[in-house]
A = this chain, B = another copy of it.
Amino acid sequence: MPARHFDARRRVVIERVRPEIDGGRFPIKRVVGEKVVVEADIFADGHDQLSCRILYWDETDKEPHSAPMEPLVNDRWRGEFHVSEIGTCRYTVEGWVDHFKTWRGDLLKRIAAGQDVRIDLLIGAEFIEQAASRAAGKDEKLLREWAKHLRENADQEPGASIALEEDLLPIIGRYPEPFLMTRYGKELLITVDRPRAGYSAWYEIFPRSTSAEPGGHGTLRDCENRLPYIASMGFDVVYLPPVHPIGHTNRKGKNNSVAAQPDDVGSPWAIGSEEGGHKAVHPRLGTIEDFRRFVAKADEHGLEVALDIAFQCSPDHPYTGEHPEWFRMRPDGTIQYAENPPKKYQDIYPINFETPEPLALWEELKSVFQFWINQGVRIFRVDNPHTKAFAFWEWVIEEIKRDHPDVIFLAEAFTRPHVMYRLAKLGFTQSYTYFTWRNTKPELTEYFTELTQTEVREYFRPNLWPNTPDILSEFLQVGGRPAFMTRVVLAATLGANYGIYGPAFELCENVAVAPGSEEYLNSEKYEIKHRDLNAPWSLKDFIARINSIRRAHPALQSDRGLRFHETDNPMLLCFSKTTEDLSNVIVVVVNLDSFHKQMGWVNLDLQSLGVNNGRPYQANDLLGDGRYLWQGSWNYVELTPGIVPAHILQIRRWVRTERDFDYYL
């Protein structure tokens, strides 16, 4: 007889626990204070009643907390709890055949049918005595008294009412029969992050473009002077491309030309020279002390520094000499450069994660993160993680977060869906998305429904970027300033996490290097830029307003409350974000057409917004200051791209009428 015999009396089955990512292989994600709703199919043979509960442990708990579960329909149970500590939380589910509950329900039916229940009351007394034997202290005493009282009155009138005593139900509920308990076979994990993991506004800037001198090579000190400007727009994170020495060999010139001129500065992603590799600061940017000072100055402005980690090397990187075994060799004895045949990227050597002894490589790469953590960095934007081994990411993120659970990793992977999701499962805190190329109503609706209303939301935190130094989308190229307004409103309201590459974005730079290309003309990746931040067309004030709306409205600080609403015009996108208690309700309407005024009707799902369908409500435009008095689900909007192509409406549910005045009654 197999070992499972010893579980023979555990009659309860627990199936389809949600959330559970890939059978429990991966954790779900939350920020501190967030709620976890757990559901499971829980049932047993026969017709006995069950009781169920969640067990959960915060990072430092030895003993679990418990949260009750309630039945929904069709053997589905649900409960919830909140996570309160940064780190790794666990949860599981328990269910048991509850003979006392079954007996009590049956007793009610027997009494209703006028049956003799004297024997049944004695059965009940036995259940209570059994529970008492598992209890202690005051509970045990109460249960023993109850059983005794019931036995003594089983033959008499008050027996039934003693048996049905409601006050004692919670007490007996605490002492289920252990051999009847089934605990779900897995403890499921939650990565609990600090709040910024769930809500952040990023601003990407090339420090070398911050010199006060036109044409001069900016330094980290120059970049400090840019901090007030960035902070004034309301961003939280200032993200720097790699700050390391740049290779000389096969350096790319302006506009990615293969023949660099002597004064070309090269791409910051061609990392490493005789001046150092991933742990060095480019001498023209300054010193490591300058870097630490920059981190501290940013903090004074309420900004955190995010650093780009790009695990690849220029031909001049120290690794190429010290660790040739970390690269692929060609039969002619040279190191294999990056390729996407027939294209060749001879200024970049990819690292070979199939190297026979990956241990040393992994440790070295981990030490890069550790080095910058030691300089005060807690946010890393990881370049192209999808071209490095999955196993490495899982290992290194776990290693780093063990000692620094506050570290945030953003995955810059623009690749196939399964790969992007896998990286998020492996531990990346936030992820780049396809938002950059989702422009139409059906595209945005379908994609953001997938991200926020399916299992994906449990492990993948979207971070939305309308542009990056690599991507000037066609929408931005053709739509002029209104297109930039539309895209930043969408990014900042569809996503609790979003970012822009500036100042290219707020200055509406929109010229591509060639038709059909998404590369910027005169890309900042290959040259120093000098810009007039006060250009009259700058969107800095518009962006500042959006970020201040985000700060004032918690509904915009999470993606779980996203819901799309019908409109009768395909150019009008309407969605809402709400806090769970509906205390904060935001409705966004965006004109997706950058050229024409669009008007039409939006059909709000009022129930989801907590609005009473019969009463008027106020829709206050936080962006344009308009105030609208609406009633019913269908309401008219018109949006002119040349003015402001979007409403960000706060819904105020209680509009006073004469019936609210005392004298009306």
Contacts and interface: CB of A to CB of B under 8 A. Distances in A.
Interface of A: 1-2, 4-5, 7-11, 13, 15, 22-23, 41, 43-47, 74-75, 97, 106, 109-110, 112-113, 115, 119, 122-123, 126, 179-180, 330-332, 339-342, 353-355, 358-359, 362-363, 386-392, 394-395, 416-419, 422
Contacts of A394: 4
A634 to B, nearest CB: 31
Nearest to A328: B123
A419 B45 contact: yes
Given A110-B341, A416-B75, A391 B7 contact: yes
Given A331-B123, A359-B1, A10 B391 contact: yes
A422 B46 CA distance: 13
A11 B389 contact: yes
Contacts of A106: 339, 341
Contacts of A8: 353, 358-359, 362, 389, 391-392, 395
A100 to B, nearest CB: 14
Given A43-B422, A123-B330, 5 more contacts: A9-B355, A41-B418, A47-B387, A109-B341, A126-B331
A390 to B, nearest CB: 6
24 contacts: A4-B391, A5-B362, A5-B391, A8-B358, A8-B392, A9-B353, A9-B358, A9-B389, A11-B353, A15-B422, A43-B416, A43-B422, A45-B353, A45-B386, A46-B386, A46-B387, A47-B340, A109-B341, A109-B342, A110-B341, A110-B342, A113-B341, A119-B331, A126-B331
Contacts of A389: 8-9, 11, 45
Contacts of A5: 358-359, 362, 391, 395
Contacts of A2: 395
Contact of A74 (B74, B119, B355, B416): B416
A13 B331 contact: no
Contact of A13 (B41, B113, B340, B390): B390
B331 A122 contact: yes
Contacts of A97: 354
Contacts of A392: 8
A170 B209 CA distance: 55
Question: Copies per complex?
Answer: 2
A456 to B, nearest CB: 13
A106 to B, nearest CB: 4
A1 B364 CA distance: 13
Contacts of A23: 23
Nearest to A394: B4
Contacts of A386: 45-46
A13 B47 contact: no
A97 B355 CA distance: 14
A418 B74 contact: yes
B47 A395 contact: no
Contact of A418 (B43, B109, B422): B43
Contacts of A330: 119, 123
Contact of A390 (B45, B109, B362, B390): B45
A363 to B, nearest CB: 8
Nearest to A10: B391
Nearest to A103: B341
Contacts of A180: 354
A390 B46 CA distance: 10
A502 B22 CA distance: 48
A416 B46 CA distance: 10
Nearest to A385: B45
A615 B110 CA distance: 69
Contacts of A109: 341-342
Contacts of A47: 340, 387
Contact of A4 (B9, B115, B363, B395): B395
A354 B1 contact: no
Contacts of A387: 45-47
A160 to B, nearest CB: 14
Contacts of A359: 1, 5, 8
Contacts of A355: 9
A18 to B, nearest CB: 13
A1 B402 CA distance: 13
A526 to B, nearest CB: 24
Nearest to A43: B418
A1 B395 contact: yes
A115 B11 contact: no
Nearest to A342: B113
Nearest to A9: B354
A115 B344 CA distance: 11
Closest CB pairs A-B (n = 3): A113-B342, A122-B331, A106-B341
A418 B15 contact: yes
A127 to B, nearest CB: 11
A353 B12 CA distance: 12
A72 to B, nearest CB: 12
A10 to B, nearest CB: 7
A352 to B, nearest CB: 10
A92 to B, nearest CB: 15
A627 to B, nearest CB: 46
B74 A417 contact: yes
A362 B122 CA distance: 30
Contacts of A353: 8-9, 11, 45
Nearest to A350: B46
Contacts of A331: 119, 122-123, 126
Contacts of A358: 5, 8-9
A426 to B, nearest CB: 10
A6 to B, nearest CB: 9
Nearest to A179: B354
Nearest to A387: B46
A4 B390 CA distance: 12
Contacts of A113: 341-342
Nearest to A125: B331
A358 B1 CA distance: 11
